[in-house]
Amino acid sequence: MRHIISILLENEPGALSRVVGLFSQRNYNIESLTVAPTEDHSLSRLTITTIGDDRKIEQITKHLNKLIDVVKLVDLTEGSHVERELMLIKVKASGAQRAEIKRTTDIFRGQIIDVTPTVYSIQLSGTSDKLDSFIAALGNAAVLEVARTGVTGISRGDKVLSL
Amino acid sequence: MELLSGGEMLIRALHDEGVELLFGYPGGAALHIYDAIFNQDKVDHILVRHEQAATHAADGYARATGKPGVVLVTSGPGATNAITGIATAFMDSIPMVVISGQVDSSLIGTDGFQETDMVGVSRPIVKHSFMVQRAEEIPEIVKKAFYIATTGRPGPVVIDIPKDVTDPARKVKYQYPDSVKMRSYSVPSKGHTGQIKKAVEILLAAKRPVIYAGGGVIQGNGSELLTELARMLGYPVTNTLMGLGAYPGTDEQFLGMLGMHGTYEANMAMHFSDVVLGIGVRFDDRVTNAVNKFCPGAKILHVDIDPASISKTVTADVPIVGSVSTVLEEMIDLIKQSDSQVDSKSLELWWQQIEGWREKECLKVEASTDDSIKPQQVVQAVYKATGGNAYVSSDVGQHQMFAAQYYVFDKPRRWINSGGLGTMGFGFPAAVGVQLAYPDAVSVCITGEGSIQMCIQELATCMQYALPIKIVCLNNQALGMVKQWQDMQYGGRHSHSTYSESLPDFVKLMEAYGHVGIRIDKLSELDEKMAEAFAIKDKLVFIDVSVDATEHVYPMAIKGGSMKDMYLSKTERT
Ligand SMILES: Cc1ncc(C[n+]2csc(CCOP(=O)(O)OP(=O)(O)O)c2C)c(N)n1
Ligand SMILES: [Mg+2]
């Protein structure tokens, strides 16, 4: 199963490499990874999506917790949560396709953020599935470039990941 | 407040941390630190002859004393030479602090002379690491490093220090912190009382129990409590390779070592048990054999300080995360208070069954008829000559297994071996660390002619510091353990495992270093010459014993089987 693990990490040099190293060293896979400082600049928030059965995920969270730089973590997929990914995508848009692409973008509630006579740059956020569907919905329009941030997330309700 | 340079601060901080001994080797990036060592007399420095040996010596010191071992090396090759020793300590959870010099901060990342990314290279084999950026950080980083290395599940910590940080011309205020606070590191102490209660109930209701205790009991100073618990219950105890000495080896309740080369009775008892209490163990593949066939009828109670060790390979029915000694204490109290009693009828039957297995005498040695020496007999002779009281380090191979099987350890911290990584070359430098920790004790290294040559340069260190170590070499003129596997699994094709034509004359070699060399090749002279060797108290003695090279280590687990599946000799299997 796919899991989203969110981590509060000391914002120290080398901390990120320890997390990434753990995954390669123990043969765990990383589907996506996002990281940025939080409102408290001594901490980074890191979100990893990974795939594994319960036993593997338990090992992953235990080993992450053992890393000295990991302050706290939560497996968001254990409870109800909101997850989002941001995508910037550049598509060839000329002639009749321009209107078609615009319509599809609207349906997905994306925004066209840059325009040239032959190219649209589109911004879209949502779950990873939604981003995948958007690409599929573009049909035979030529996709020139895709930049996705990877998943970040937060749990619903009162639950917070903080010190 | 005093003003000190970074180099001076480092040495002062080590002293304030209680460090008496450093093992190291100098070089450019560490020279400011070495100058600071020269100008004081509180912390001793032992000059080894290879950085690998510095780490193994510090490791041996740590295993024997329970105190952290401390290593100082220079950047680049000095740091990379230390890697094998750091990995060895990591696998066996040994507290160690390794300080490595680094090139000037301004040169980092430029492929400067002797620059290696030590923090990066060591990352997968350390518990944590620090890169010092300013001299002011040194006291706190040293304090944190020792705290991390010695608490929880212990392990090695690296402190990498760029040369400019130790500059003698730049002095800053020094104060050593009394304590550390780290929001991201907490040490589990007491186990969960509800879980411990549950474990005790299951333990008391057991009909065929086994206590399976490992290195964690030694590291966690839990041997006496383990012994108290086992005696209270009257249950059989087995130790892992790392746990030998955690329970007295001469005790009636002791079944011997378990696992790949464990005793018949220990492995049979595990397999047929209904309750296994694993304490300070990690259900290593060298113990369990095929995990899916492991102890089919047993409930597993698992106590360990490292949550990640629990249910890693074998799922625990009752997991207990906590320090071995606090959990054992709580268990003992609960048993004393409990209304339930041990099921003594079942226990009696269980012991009868175990006695039956013991009758196999799986470790019996048949003496040769031609006065040649069996390797097992050498270990028995060492046991006799030392009255069972020595600190015994070993290398890796057949000799290591014979040492584990035939030297009986009654006390913890006496058996010093690289169990997890299996590092040839570990034994001799580890014996150096032991001898320096306990100058009056007998420090023996049981080794093979293969392993000893991996760190033999330390003969010079022993000369310099007059260390009267005893090296017992079970000389089978081969990489015996490799050869055994080739005999058993590769149709006897001895690919690159023999070198009988090219062995050094160890006796002459010892003379070159001012040590004593003794050769033994007749069984009839074994005990007498061994006693002679151990009677030499003030010199290093190398006892080179020619042993029967055809001997294999038995019992031996049959790959892919359960714990009850063993070869018992070249012709017999279970
Ligand atoms: C550094 C290292 N290299 C290789 C091995 C693989 N290995 C395990 S045992 C062994 C043979 C050891 O020979 P020796 O020290 O003579 O011991 P014996 O088995 O003959 O008693 C080898 C090569 C190892 N454990 N460590
Ligand atoms: Mg050999």
A158 part of a folded domain: no
Specify whether B412 is located in the same domain as B521: yes
Q: Are residues B129 and B206 in the same domain?
A: no
A60 plus A99 within the same structural domain? no
Residues A26 and A42 in one domain: yes
User: Where residue B523 sits, what CATH number does that domain have?
Assistant: 3.40.50.970
Q: What is the pLDDT of residues A27-79, one digit of tens each?
A: 999 999 999 999 999 999 999 999 999 999 999 999 999 999 999 999 999 99
What is the predicted pLDDT for the residue at A13? 87
Choose from A38, A46, A66, A163 for mutation: most chain B CBs within 10 A.
A66
Mean pLDDT on B333-361? 96
Mean pLDDT of chain B: 97
Considering the domain architecture, whether residues A70 and A88 belong to the same structural domain is answered as: no
Asked whether residue B170 falls in the same domain as residue B197, the answer is no
Is A94 within the bounds of a domain? yes
Residue B444 phi, psi (nearest 5)? -110, 140
pLDDT digits (tens, 9 = 90+) for B540-572: 999 999 999 999 999 999 999 999 999 999 999
Taking only the tens place, the pLDDT of each residue in B140-161 is: 999 999 999 999 999 999 999 9
- Are B349 and B474 members of one domain? no
Which residue do the tokens 């990066």 mark? B120
Q: In this complex, do A62 and B183 lie within 8 Å of one another by their Cβ atoms? A: no
- Regarding whether B286 and B407 lie in a shared domain, the answer is no
Q: Do residues B249 and B385 share a domain? A: no
- Residues B127 and B241 reside in one and the same domain: no
Residue A47 belongs to a domain: yes
Nearest CA in chain B to A56: B312
B567 CA distance to ligand 2 centroid (A)? 21
Alpha-carbon distance A27 to B131, whole Å? Answer: 27
Beta bridge partner(s), residue B279: B213, B303
**CATH number, residue A111:** 3.30.70.1150
Residue B189: the pLDDT is: 79
- As for how many domains chain A has, the answer is 2
Average confidence (pLDDT) over B244-254: 98
Tokens standing for B186? 């907490």
Average pLDDT over residues B104-117: 95
In a domain, B184, yes or no: no
pLDDT at residue A122 in the model: 98
- B323 with B461, same domain: the answer is no
Residue A101 Cα, gap to closest chain B Cα (Å): 47
- The total number of residues written for chain B in this structure: 574
* CB contact A65 to B (< 8 Å): yes
Cβ pair B23, B57 in contact under 8 A: yes
Question: Would you state the pLDDT for residue A141?
Answer: 83
- The span from the CA of B116 to the CA of B136, in Å, is 24
Q: Separation of B448 CA from ligand 2 center, angstroms? A: 4
Any domain includes B568: no
Considering A79, A109, A128, which residue would you say is the last residue of a domain? Answer: A79
Whether residue A126 contacts residue A84, with contact meaning beta carbons closer than 8 Å, is answered with: yes
Regarding whether B316 and B267 lie in a shared domain, the answer is yes
Return residues 147-186 of B near A (CB < 8 Å): 148, 182-185
**Cβ atoms within 10 A of the Cβ of B252, count?**
9
Could you tell me if B170 and B201 lie in one domain? Answer: no
B1 pLDDT band, cuts 50/70/90, is: confident
Backbone angles phi, psi at B435, to 5 degrees: -65, -35
- Judge whether A136 lies within some domain: yes
Please give the residue of chain A at the shortest CA–CA distance from B312. Answer: A59
- Residue B478: DSSP 8-state: B
Q: For residue A40, what are the domain limits?
A: 2-79
Q: Residue A6 forms beta bridges with which residues?
A: A47, A74
What is the pLDDT at residue B51? 98
Domain span at B420: 375-553
Q: How many CA atoms lie within 13 A of B369 on its CB side?
A: 0
Ligand 2 centroid to residue A12 C-alpha, Å: 47
Q: Spell out the residues 6+ positions from residue B204 whose beta carbon is closer than 8 angstroms to its own.
A: B233, B335, B338, B340, B341, B342, B343
Distance CA B264, CA B556 (A): 9
What is the per-residue pLDDT for A140?
83
The answer to whether residue A50 is domain-embedded is: yes
Q: Which of A33, A55, A79 is the last residue of a domain?
A: A79
DSSP B573: B
Domain final residue, candidates A79, A108, A138: A79
Write the burial class of residue B437 (CB in 10 Å: 0-12 exposed, 13-18 middle, 19+ buried): buried
Confidence tier at B381 by pLDDT (50, 70, 90):
very high
Residues A75 and A86 in one domain: no
pLDDT value at residue B175: 96
**What is the tally of structural domains in chain B?**
3
Do residues B45 and B37 make contact, with C-beta atoms less than 8 angstroms apart? yes
What pLDDT score was predicted for residue A163? 87
Taking CB atoms within 8 Å and a gap of at least 24, the contacts of B189-192 are B189/B322, B189/B323, B189/B326, B190/B322, B190/B323, B190/B326, B190/B327, B190/B330, B191/B303, B191/B320, B191/B321, B191/B322, B191/B323, B191/B326, B191/B327, B191/B330, B192/B320, B192/B321, B192/B322
**Whether B167 and B200 share a structural domain:** no
Domain identity same for B494 and B535: yes
Cα(B269)–Cα(B276) distance, integer angstroms? 10
Tell me what the mean pLDDT of segment B412-431 comes to: 98
Note the pLDDT tens digit of each residue in A103-154: 999 999 999 999 999 999 999 999 999 999 999 999 888 899 999 999 999 9
Which chain A residues are within 8 Å of B123, Cβ to Cβ?
14, 17-18, 21
DSSP per-residue letters across B119-130 = HHHHGGG-SEEE
Whether the CB of B127 is below 8 Å from some CB of chain A: the reply is yes
Determine, yes or no, domain membership for A146: yes
Whole-complex ipTM: 0.92
- Please report, for residues B12, B103, B447, the alpha-carbon distance to residue B110 in angstroms, rounded to integers and kept in the order given: 31, 10, 43
Beta bridge partners of B157: B97, B128
Is residue A96 domain-shared with residue A49, that is, in the same domain? no
Q: Best substitution site from B84, B88, B481 to test ligand 1's pocket, by max atoms within 8 Å of Cβ?
A: B481
Residue B559 lies in a domain: no
CB contact under 8 A, B120 and A66: no
Q: Is B308 on the interface with A (CB under 8 A)?
A: yes
Residue B450 per-residue DSSP state: T
Last residue of a domain, one of B311, B326, B358: B358
